[in-house]
Structure 1
């Protein structure tokens, strides 16, 4: 039965704290990404890279929390995109420029701008396509192009290799600039890449995967940069496989 009578005006101006939690996580992730820029400018590159990894984790958490609490909103979606552009478009570009591309001068900075612009285009296209996700079954199991967080991790591959002592990319800034350009193309391409929801693991591989996870945890504390480099290479292999199975088309 519908109730008639005066309402409590305070109830219209109050929002449950749990409803604000996803946006609070998003803003915290944005602050972490912005702080990464500060440490990159201070040439504390290890800390800067670590903060971007934290920002990537928080980017995954805010969406998960929003779905669990049924607290999704339009402002949350827009806030998430703005935070992603800062954390995965601007911050990695500044870090890579300070770490590897500064000797290349203006040419290196041009590639940073290209990478940031590709991230912006990728996020804009994702916002437009998100409304069509329910109409397309593959939208939930595939990404169109490399997502912004994954693109940032691929862009940081030279930093992972240098910090891990595998390959020193300080001497080849033009090669790093070219790699940044390749990642930008992967982000704005229309090739469908796999999402975690589409991955199916055979039962016979569960044991080896769990064993590899234990090894990965050990490497996290002993050789974290080498582990991140290996993960980057594995993901790059999956992207190349997608490219080989599809017609190459650029964003249009």
Structure 2
């Protein structure tokens, strides 16, 4: 007979998976709002899912509750939140009803997101060669969703109307998908480390972000998306220069 300790599991050990499921619920609810044309709420939910992405892994490490089940659940949640949902949002917002081949761009983006996550799962536990520093390759799935929705953010802010440029937006969406599957070293927010002597700047930046989050949400999303786009572009250019040399 099993002892009581063998048949019970502390609720804190389930917390990482509950966070993952919360993000999954946000992605599923975003699809619901896409179906009724509330693209603003759908975009907010995708941003929320991206904001808490990685929190489950951090909690699991802190609680020593890491598991293969949690890792697979997180990957499946990421595919829906940052692969399927952004593609559907972009299609319904700017591409649907414009031209017959517009769905192809969505397929390219979504399949690239799937391939990226599948590659990540395979290489997750692969040890690095001796003398090699860990680095991030390609655009991460949450970052890909952020870049894919950047024109939507700009439209909601009133800077442009992405629906006026469906062909350009479709090509841009496919390029974002290809960047996710690339082998180009890029920067992931999860891997960033802030020096202690720069803490005051981080504090100031945090206050500014919170202020914009409350007062000018879409402007904040536009700024974050543009900064990430510039950083990613710089990483790509640097890689190409090194490769050519």
TM-score by length of 1: 0.87
Alignment of 1:134-213 (within 5 A): 137-139=132-134, 142-196=135-189, 197-199=191-193, 203=197, 207-213=200-206
Aligned to 1:88: 82
* Residues in 1 aligned to 2:67 and 2:76: alpha-carbon distance in whole angstroms: 15
Matched position secondary structure for 1:175:
helix
Matched position secondary structure for 2:96:
helix
Q: How many residues were matched structurally?
A: 239
Structure 1 residue runs of 5 or longer lacking an equivalent are: 1-6
Aligned to 1:115: 109
Q: Considering only CA atoms, is the larger Rg found in Structure 1 or Structure 2?
A: 1
Aligned to 1:237: 230
RMSD, matched Cα: 2.1
TM-score by length of 2: 0.90
Residue 44 of structure 1 pairs with residue 35 of structure 2: no
Contact 1:166 1:226 in 2 (8 A): no
Contact 1:23 1:62 in 2 (8 A): yes
Matched position secondary structure for 2:239:
coil
* Residues in 2 aligned to 1:147 and 1:201: alpha-carbon distance in whole angstroms: 23
Identify the match of residue 218 of structure 2 among 218, 225, 243.
225
Contact 2:105 2:173 in 1 (8 A): yes
* Residues in 1 aligned to 2:127 and 2:192: alpha-carbon distance in whole angstroms: 15
Distance 1:14 1:126, change over 3 A: same
Larger mean CA deviation between 99-108 and 23-32 belongs to 99-108
Residue by residue, what CA displacement relative to the aligned partner does 1:199-238 show, whole Å, maximum 9, x if unpaired?
A: 55594x6555543433332222222111111111111111
Contact 1:36 1:48 in 2 (8 A): yes
Contact 2:140 2:188 in 1 (8 A): no
Residue 124 of structure 1 pairs with residue 115 of structure 2: no
* Residues in 2 aligned to 1:59 and 1:211: alpha-carbon distance in whole angstroms: 23
Distance 1:156 1:69, change over 3 A: same
Aligned to 1:34: 28
Residue 77 of structure 1 pairs with residue 99 of structure 2: no
Structure 2 residue runs of 5 or longer lacking an equivalent are: none
